[in-house]
Amino acid sequence: MLRNGSPPRVILGIGGGIAAYKSAELARILIQRGYKVQPVMTAAAMQFITPLTLSTLTHAKVITHLFSERGDANAILSSAVEHIDVALENDLLLVAPATANLLAQFAHGLAGDFLTTMHLAFTGPVLLAPAMNTNMWNHAATQANLRLLRERGYHVVGPDAGDLACGMVGAGRLAEPLEIADAATALLDGQNDLAGETILITAGPTQEAIDPVRVITNRSSGKMGYALAANAAQRGAKVILVSGPVALAAPAQVEMVRVESAEQMKNAVLHRLPEASVFIGVAAVADYRPANPADQKMKKTASRLSIELEPTADILAEVGRLKGDRIVIGFAAETQNLIAEASRKLNAKNCDMVVANLVGGNGTGFEGDENEVLLVTRDAEPQAVSRAAKSVVAAKILDRIPGLRLAAHAEAR
Ligand code: CTP
């Protein structure tokens, strides 16, 4: 496979775990697929497999140290920036096995060796194939690190469950090399399919002031919108993310516009809409706001309190009115009549697609890390996207953009 005349370039980072031996097979498959593979081994990895094995399979110099071990000044000068060069020259950072220690270092931005330092300079997609003992995998620290990395748009393949080298049975076994290679191929193939698109996304809740210290808001975490932004940016789109207040890290390569209220979100969206070729309204925008927010903090009294609310503008509907030839995608969070409600919103708000999900206590929807949705369009049966990490669901939603554009063109003719 050739891209722009040159093969895709993959950094194969190898962590120090017993599964490191399987990285040899993975390297072989990647080379067979025509990729250029740059192995990078941690010190611990070399306890399990030798650099000679990897260099023989990949025909590349295996990087094992942050600084050149040779003593001459030129070698030291060139090696001082090698982690930057490697980061800039490659299309994908694949880490297999990704140990608990590597996940922790990546999550917290530590840069103690070549792999972790280069990782900070790398701006492309990162695919992690974790492998470790079941208890280490299940540890709250490992799971929290993984959640953080997923939020930032990192891709994760595996681990599988089964017999582990340590004698335990459970989750933690490295995914099969073929499965890891397939995940890498999917990322490399999809990498630039959204190049040329400018995608404007709203995410998170809004906060509507009652007084200077109190707000009306909702439980939206922003995770779905951030996952869409991260995935779109990785696939080459220019992404503008208009976000309400959330506790999430900004995804790499995404332009952030931070807002609080529905009014601010609407103004930010309308300001940036002319440059957008795709709009995705994921935000849980407040439908009402206090009609007369108090200038000073309201004092408690013994009597009941009523707050008069007035409607906010519907941002998605407004974008639908100004649609032009852009693709407009809305979300519908429902507790019942999912398809009927999604279809109604599709038409009422002039959308090309509505992503519908049932909300309510099963770990999907607003606050969870996973989602399960139906993609509702005008001219096709609803497509079910089964329960998966929000990053996976995000990729499936964005996969529909080329088809929606074709359908919109056909309708316009
Ligand atoms: N939306 C918006 N601006 C609003 C309200 C909603 O842009 N003021 C967008 C959301 O981002 C989402 C879609 O509209 O893409 C659906 O939001 P939802 O709250 O489910 O729908 P509503 O139109 O508020 O309908 P209802 O309250 O009748 O369910």
- Does 2 reside within a domain? no
Does residue 47 contact residue 15 with C-beta atoms inside 8 Å? no
Domain containing residue 57: CATH number: 3.40.50.1950
Number of domains in the chain: 2
For residue 406, give both structure tokens: 């074709």
For residue 98, give both structure tokens: 């990704």
- pLDDT on residue 4: 55
Q: Where is the domain boundary, 129, 156, 189?
A: 189
Q: Where is the domain boundary, 170, 189, 208?
A: 189
- pLDDT on residue 85: 87
Q: Which atom of ligand 1 is nearest to the CA of 355?
A: 15
Q: Are residues 232 and 284 in the same domain?
A: yes
The rounded distance, in Å, linking the Cα atoms of 130 and 397 is 26
- pLDDT on residue 274: 98
- pLDDT on residue 298: 96
- In this predicted structure, the answer to whether residue 74 has a pLDDT above a threshold of 70 is no
CA of 203 to the centre of ligand 1 (A): 12
Identity of the amino acid at 104: A
Average pLDDT of the segment spanning 253-276: 97
CA of 285 to the centre of ligand 1 (A): 7
- pLDDT on residue 361: 57
The closest residue, in CA terms, to atom 21 on ligand 1 is 332
Q: Are residues 213 and 185 in the same domain?
A: no
- Does 152 reside within a domain? yes
Q: Are residues 129 and 68 in the same domain?
A: yes
Q: Return the active site residues.
A: 166
Q: Which residue has the higher pLDDT, 329 or 190?
A: 329
Q: Are residues 171 and 86 in the same domain?
A: yes
The rounded distance, in Å, linking the Cα atoms of 201 and 219 is 18
Return the ∠ at Cα 223 (arms to 339 and 211), rounded to 5°. Answer: 100
- In this predicted structure, the answer to whether residue 231 has a pLDDT above a threshold of 50 is yes
> Which positions ≥6 away from 167 have C-beta within 8 Å?
none
Q: Are residues 261 and 392 in the same domain?
A: yes
Domain containing residue 301: CATH number: 3.40.50.10300
SS3 content of the chain, % helix, strand, coil (to 5): 40, 25, 40
- In this predicted structure, the answer to whether residue 71 has a pLDDT above a threshold of 50 is no
- pLDDT on residue 256: 97
Q: Are residues 86 and 138 in the same domain?
A: yes
For residue 297, give both structure tokens: 């903090």
Q: Are residues 83 and 220 in the same domain?
A: no
Q: Which residue has the higher pLDDT, 352 or 160?
A: 352
Ligand 1 site residues (CB inside 6 A) read 202, 262, 281-283, 285, 287, 312, 314-316, 330-333, 345
- Does 157 reside within a domain? yes
For residue 58, give both structure tokens: 């990949």
Which band of pLDDT confidence, cut at 50, 70 and 90, is reported for residue 409? Answer: confident
- Does 154 reside within a domain? yes
The closest residue, in CA terms, to atom 12 on ligand 1 is 331
- In this predicted structure, the answer to whether residue 76 has a pLDDT above a threshold of 50 is no
- In this predicted structure, the answer to whether residue 75 has a pLDDT above a threshold of 50 is no
- In this predicted structure, the answer to whether residue 1 has a pLDDT above a threshold of 50 is no
Q: Are residues 216 and 145 in the same domain?
A: no
Q: Are residues 316 and 382 in the same domain?
A: yes
Q: What is the pTM of this model?
A: 0.70
- Does 371 reside within a domain? yes
- Does 4 reside within a domain? no
CA of residue 151 relative to chain centroid, distance: 6
Q: Are residues 172 and 214 in the same domain?
A: no
CA of 149 to the centre of ligand 1 (A): 29
**Range scoring the smallest mean pLDDT among 73-87, 121-135, 216-230, 242-256:** 73-87
Average pLDDT of the segment spanning 199-216: 98
The range of the structural domain enclosing residue 148 comes to: 9-189
- Does 1 reside within a domain? no
Q: Where is the domain boundary, 137, 169, 189?
A: 189
